[in-house]
Amino acid sequence: MTDIEKSIEKALIASKPLNCELCGERVYYLDGGQYQCRKCGNIMLDDFGKVKAYIDKNGPSPAMAISSATGVSTEVIEVFLRKGRLEIPEGSRYYVKCERCHCSIRYGRFCPDCVKDTAVEIKAVFADEVGEKPKYEWNPDMAGRIRFVDRRWKK
């Protein structure tokens, strides 16, 4: 993880409220970046909640407009796109790039073709590495005991 990625992760963690800004009581997570105070009912937003609220009110917008209106950096908005929490609408002039083939995608890290190819490659590697497991019979004497995995079965 690069220094930039670490600082973005720290910013995301720091944006999550722990205590109410009005009364100081503990808050709990509702949904979509919203947190509610247990005592006074005050609703607070983390960075994702701010972006979501802006998009709900104003519709699809460029990242720069969202960033300037909410105070959430464009790097954090890109993290939400990469994690699949936000999506670029069809017909947009700007897209994110697939990390493998660099084609334009609307959200996530990889395009559907690269996901499919990678899944096939991983499956092939595991098929070569693991092979077929031998058949074992369950040993009832070992039931309910902590043990090494290879000792719970009896040939």
Instruction: For residue range 22-56, list pLDDT tens digits in order.
Output: 999 999 999 899 999 999 999 999 999 999 999 99
83 occurs within a structural domain: yes
- Angle (CA) 145 150 155, round 5°: 100
- Neighbour-count burial for 101-139, b at 16+ CB within 10 Å, e otherwise: eeeebeebbbbeebeeeeeeeeeeeeeeeeeeeeeeeee
141 occurs within a structural domain: no
pLDDT for the residue 92? 86
Domain extent for 7: 3-109
Which of 61-65, 98-102, 111-115, 120-124 has the lowest average pLDDT?
Answer: 120-124
63 occurs within a structural domain: yes
pLDDT for the residue 151? 47
In the chain, the amino acid numbered 143 is A
Residue 146 pLDDT class (50, 70, 90 cuts): low
Question: Which residue bears the tokens 């497991």?
Answer: 133
Sequence-ordered list of residues with C-beta below 8 angstroms from that of 17, at least 6 positions apart, any chain: 27, 35, 44, 46
The number of helices, as runs of H, and strands, as runs of E, in the chain is 5, 7
pLDDT for the residue 28? 94
36 occurs within a structural domain: yes
More confident residue, 123 or 22: 22
Determine how many CB atoms are found less than 10 A away from the CB of residue 30.
12
Residue 100 pLDDT class (50, 70, 90 cuts): very high
Beta strands 153-154 and 104-105 are unpaired
CA atoms within 13 A on the CB side of 67: 11
More confident residue, 135 or 79: 79
How many residues make up the chain in this entry? 155
pTM of the model: 0.71
155 occurs within a structural domain: no
68 occurs within a structural domain: yes
Number of domains forming the structure of the chain:
1
150 occurs within a structural domain: no
pLDDT for the residue 10? 87
